[in-house]
Amino acid sequence: MTPRRGVALTPMETRRDVIVRAAVLADELGYEIFALPEGWGLDAGPVLTEIALRTGRINLASSVLSIWGRTPATLAMSAATLHQVSGGRYVLGLGTSTKALAEGFHDTAFEHPAAKLRDVVTKVRALLDGQPAQLSHAPAARPLRLGQPPAPEVPIWVAALGQHTTRVAAELGDGRIPGPALADGELEQILGARRNRNQGDRRRNCGDQRGPASVMDHGALPAQRTLTRSRRPTQPTSALAPMARTNTTISIAYMRGISNNV
């Protein structure tokens, strides 16, 4: 299987015009996915909307949105809207972010991050599937559904570094966004947890098997390296063996610096 290749930025890049031009160029050069992070600067949603309107082929991912900064309902609304705007090219990336951002920017206690991640992914997926909101803080209220067509096909990729968040990614996610590289045994752990989940689904005959999983493998382009229109996707800076016949690995080249001349 040929590895899939994409381009990602770091949260330090906040020049919106440069980001959009880089995404348009990546689309023209044949990259498969453009991943946009969100830190404490640009809101990823509007930027991805602009990119979606200016591209026609490349997949677009929020990589990643913090689970502390938005409610599950807001995340589901944004994902379903971007799914419509992009013509089905959007991937929702969710993660626990960092203690510094959760507490120092969103004013939310960074407690039990893996449990919070599991709760948010579960609730977002339910809303995208067309189910009523799963209410925790106002259980007596009448739960509402998403006020637009369900979008169960929106992939949810889960950012995971530790054992607990990796298990959430394997059990609930359609893909996993790891750290700079997978440690020994991590790939087998993901596949094992996913097989166990699918076997349990079959035993319960619930039909909720998410199918193939994707893993982003992060490489890095040298600082200030510039995309040019003569450059085509080449071998990624690091590549994983395919997860399985029906699973894929997406090698992501991180751009630490982008020229204004993109």
For the stretch 186-208, pLDDT in tens is 455 555 555 665 555 544 444 44
Q: Are 9 and 34 in contact (CB under 8 A)?
A: no
Structure tokens that stand for 137 in this block? 């803080």
User: pLDDT (tens digit, 9 = 90+) per residue, 39-75?
Assistant: 999 999 999 999 999 999 999 999 999 999 999 999 9
Give the model confidence (pLDDT) of 204-222 as tens digits: 444 444 555 555 555 444 3
Whether the predicted pLDDT of 229 surpasses 70: no
Q: Is the pLDDT of residue 238 over 90?
A: no
pLDDT in tens, 99-149: 999 999 999 999 999 999 999 999 999 999 999 999 999 989 999 999 999
H/E stretch holding 166? helix 163-172
Give the bridge partners for 4, in sequence order.
250
What is the token pair recorded at 240? Answer: 């994983």
**Percentage of residues in the chain with pLDDT exceeding 70?**
67
In this predicted structure, what is the pLDDT of residue 11? 87
- The highest-level CATH class for domain 4-255 is alpha beta
The domains of the chain are located at 4-255
Average pLDDT across the chain, whole number = 79
Q: Compute, in degrees rounded to 10, the torsion defined by CA atoms 171, 173, 176, 179.
A: -80
